[in-house]
Amino acid sequence: MRPDIYEHFHRDEREFVDRAWEWVENAGQYHETKLTDFLDPRQRFILESLVNRHPDVHAVFDGGHPEAERVRALIAPDYRDLEDENMGLVVLAITSGDQKFLSLEHGDYMGSILGLGIKRSKIGDIHVLENGCHALVSEDIAPFLHMNLSQVHRVHVMTELLSPDKLRVKETKLETMELTVASLRLDGISSDVYRISRTKIVIPIKAGRCRVNWKVEEDPSAPLKDGDVVSIQGFGRFKILETGGLTKKGRYRVKVGKFT
C-alpha cells in the first residue's frame, strides 16, 4: 500500500483500506470481479475513492433501495457491464402473531441475528415495520437464517425469504431539536443532544467510540457542520440539520435531528 493513500484515512481504517485496494488492483491487473459483503457509508466512501484512483476499474453499489445506508459493492474491470449483475441480496421477512412483537426494535432483531453466529458484514439495513421486519441479508446466509431464526427477544417468530423487489422500507424518523450552543464543537453539541455534561461526553469520544460521518473522531473539539452524522456508542445517532446565525448573546443556533 502506498503511503500517499494511507494519509487520507484514519489509522484504524488501514486494514480495510488494504483489503479494498487489493480488490481494486485485482480487478485492474488480473481482471477479477469482487462482490463485497455489506459496507457502511464510510467504507463505501473509502472504496469509491480507491476505485476512482484506478483508470481501469469501476464499481456498482446496491443495498436493496436507493437510500440504503449499508450496501454491497461489485468491483470489476471497466469493460465489464455491471448493470444486470446479481448483487446477492435477499430480504429476510420476520413476522409473529405475538402482541409483544409490535414493541420489538432494531436492536432486538440485530441481536437475534448476530446471536446465531452471523457476522455484521452479512447484514444490510434492517427495516422495522408496523407488522414485522424486513432485513437485507447476503444470499449465502439467507437459508441458514430462514431455518434457524425462531426467536427475537424471547418472542417466537416466523421467517420468509423474499426477492429485493419485495422489500418494504421504513422511512427514517428524526426527532428535531433546536439548540443554542457556545460553539460548533463535537463535545458541546453532543452534550446538549444527549443531555449529559460535557465532561462525561468527552470520555467515549476520546476512547474512540464516536464516529462522525462513520469515521472515528477522537477530538472533542472537532467542529461540526450541516449534514454531519454523529454516532456515539451507547448514546445513539444524530444529524446536524442546520447551523443558523448567532443569538444576541453570541451563541450559535443549531437544528439537530436525533434518530429514533
Give yes or no: residues 148 and 180 share one domain.
Answer: no
Question: What confidence tens digit (pLDDT) does each residue in 99-121 have?
Answer: 777 788 888 999 999 999 999 99
Closest to 112 measured CA to CA, from 157, 155, 153 = 153
What is residue 227's predicted lDDT score, i.e. its pLDDT?
93
Does some domain include residue 82?
no
Give the residue carrying C-alpha cell 469509491.
Answer: 48
Query: Could you give phi then psi for residue 94, rounded to 5 degrees?
Result: -120, 125
What is residue 3's predicted lDDT score, i.e. its pLDDT?
47
Q: Do 177 and 256 form a contact (C-beta atoms < 8 A)?
A: yes
Domain boundary residue, one of 77, 108, 137 = 77
**CA 179, chain centre distance (Å):** 26
What is residue 97's predicted lDDT score, i.e. its pLDDT?
78
- Confidence label for 96 from pLDDT (cuts 50, 70 and 90): confident
Q: Do 150 and 178 form a contact (C-beta atoms < 8 A)?
A: no
Give yes or no: residues 162 and 178 share one domain.
Answer: no
Give yes or no: residues 96 and 125 share one domain.
Answer: yes
Question: What confidence tens digit (pLDDT) does each residue in 138-167 have?
Answer: 999 999 999 999 999 889 999 999 999 999
Does some domain include residue 83?
no
Alpha-carbon gap, residue 235 to 190, rounded angstroms: 10
* Whether the predicted pLDDT of 37 surpasses 90: yes
Q: Which domain holds residue 233?
A: 174-259
Q: Do 77 and 25 form a contact (C-beta atoms < 8 A)?
A: no
Tell me what the pLDDT averaged over the chain comes to.
Answer: 93
CATH number at residue 145: 3.30.70.330
How many domains is the chain partitioned into structurally?
3
* Whether the predicted pLDDT of 20 surpasses 80: yes
- Half-sphere exposure at residue 8, Cβ-oriented, CA atoms within 13 angstroms: 14
* Whether the predicted pLDDT of 2 surpasses 60: no
Domain boundary residue, one of 77, 108, 140 = 77
Give yes or no: residues 154 and 206 share one domain.
Answer: no
C-alpha cell at 41: 457509508
Question: What confidence tens digit (pLDDT) does each residue in 186-195 have?
Answer: 999 999 999 9
